[in-house]
Amino acid sequence: MNEEKQCDPEEAPARRTFEQEPLIKVTLREVQEEIEDQRNARSLRKRLLPRALLVGVIAGLIAVAFRYSLRVIEEWRTEFLIQKSEEGGWTVLFPVLLVSLGAGLSVWMVRTWSPAASGSGIPQLKGVLLHLRRMNWLSVLLVKFFGGLLAMGSGMALGREGPMVQMGGASGKMVGRLLGMTKAERFILIAAGAGAGLSAAFNAPLAGLIFVLEEINRVFAPVVFFAGLLATVAADTVSRFALGQEPVMVVQPFEIPSLSVFPVFLIVGMVAGFLGVVFNRSLVGSLRVFDRTRHWPAWAVGLSVGLTVGSAGWFFPSLLGSGHEVTGLALSGELALGSLVIFFVIRFFMTMISYGCGAPGGIFAPVLVLGSMVGLAVGLLAQMAYPEAIDEPGVFAVVAMAAFFTAVVRAPLTAIILILEMTNSYSLMLPLLGACLTAYMVAEGMNDRPIYEVLMERDLRQQRDRVKVETAATALS
């Protein structure tokens, strides 16, 4: 009994300290304010989440129409060019004419009706969410949809994903405006719509949500999270019902790589980080070069693009358009090292020219295409050095897509989740983490800035300059 009553001398001070700790003073007014905040949050969710679901459905339908139309046009273009190549003669002119026509018309549409629809549209969307610019949802939707079909359908080395993100954001603005929602609620729907667009583009709802939180909006409020989640899942469901549930990129299942080859994945990250910086700086340089053609007529810009991109596409038809065919070959390890180098250089410059001219089209797909070639090249070299350790060099192509994307955009979580959802390669989680973090550190160590941040600042400067010119012209008149 005496032993039970004895108290540990070390616990006594702690007990006395706990007992003597003063209570936190909370006033009745503070309690009422907290309760009111909780009620307002619930009211906002009840009002916003059904509308976010509607945005996801609309963004999904737009994405389905865009993906299907683009697929039909690309199939027609491929058959047309194959048919003409068999005829011989001056058929080299056909890809040149196709790209020239697509580039010229799409650039004309952007200049005439919606300058905000140029490029991928993601930098412009970020500017909208930062309250730094406005968005005319109707003109963006129309120009991005039809201009994007012209640009990418003709064979320009651009991606459909950026335009679908911007069109998703425009659908959020449309719903918010038509339903009379507040300005703050409209911005949440714009962000949710952007994620829905990416979700429907890749059948990747989690990647769409993470992209909104990590890159587009960078606000982790619960209402933003749930609105984005609802919209991305709704858009993905619509896309899968209409276009099927297969992953965007079908690859063979990979076993969990041995830790003995983990250093090779880190090398992949280093190479991807360096080349990602080269990509960013080259892209900005290309935009500066095309700034000098701003006063050229649209047909002249289209012809300059057609002569370069179209000529390259004649000799390497698989490099035209989105480049999914080349990506598939890289993921399966079916490209030789010499072909990889040639394809990478040509596709790199095709992307620079296609994006620099200002046509509506993104860099998501071009980045993934280039990344897959980088990874396979490193994998083939590693296989030559350690043939007994590396059986499947294609596994490095999968990892390098995420690493290259990380170096360019500086969004590692989006890159990892996107590649996992696109390829179902969940066994590559550790290599993906290692390569992406390495690429991130290399890009940051080279003092390079994320591409969308640079492009957003560039877009805002151009908008400011246009306002100054318009103001001066008004004053003179």
Mean pLDDT of the chain: 86
- Burial string for 175-203 (b: 16+ CB within 10 Å, else e) reads bbeeeebeeebbbbbbbbbbbbbbbbbbb
Q: In terms of Cα–Cα distance, which of 445, 429, 443 is closest to 262?
A: 429
Residue at 410: amino acid letter: R
- Could you tell me the pLDDT band of residue 334, with boundaries at 50, 70 and 90? confident
pLDDT digits (tens, 9 = 90+) for 170-191: 999 999 999 988 888 899 999 9
Residue 239 host element (H or E): helix 222-243
Query: In a 3-state reduction of DSSP, which class is residue 451?
Result: helix
Model confidence pLDDT, tens digit, residues 60-117: 999 999 999 999 998 888 888 777 766 666 666 777 888 888 888 999 999 999 989 9
pLDDT band at 34 (very low <50, low <70, confident <90, very high): low
Q: Is the pLDDT of residue 1 over 50?
A: no
Residue 221 has pLDDT above 50, yes or no: yes
Confidence band for 472, pLDDT divided at 50, 70 and 90: low
Is pLDDT of 11 > 60? no
For the cut 80, the answer to whether the pLDDT of residue 151 exceeds it is: yes
Is the model's pLDDT at 378 over the cut of 70?
Answer: yes
Please give the structure tokens belonging to residue 467: 């306002």
Check whether 242 has a pLDDT greater than 60. yes
Tell me the one-letter amino acid at 87: E
Backbone angles phi, psi at 414, to 5 degrees: -60, -45
Residue 17's pLDDT is 47
C-alpha gyration radius of the chain: 26
Q: Quick one: average pLDDT of 436-447?
A: 96
Torsion sign (Cα): 78, 290, 296, 472 = positive
pLDDT the model gives residue 18: 44
Which pLDDT score, from 0 to 100, does residue 35 have?
65
**pLDDT over threshold 90, residue 282:** yes
For residues 191 and 216, the answer to whether their CB atoms sit within 8 Å is: yes
Count Cβ atoms below 10 Å from residue 305 Cβ, excluding itself: 30
Q: Is residue 476 over pLDDT 60? A: no
Paired with 435 in beta bridges are: none
Task: Check residue 450 and give its pLDDT.
Answer: 94
Assess whether pLDDT exceeds 50 at residue 3. no
Task: Categorize the per-residue pLDDT at 41 as very low, low, confident or very high, splitting at 50, 70 and 90.
Answer: low
Please report which confidence band the pLDDT of residue 251 belongs to, taking 50, 70 and 90 as the band edges.
confident
| Crossing angle (nearest 10°) for helices 394-409 and 262-291 | 50
* β partners of residue 159: 362
pLDDT top residue among 219 and 161: 161
In 10 A of CB 426, how many CB atoms?
12
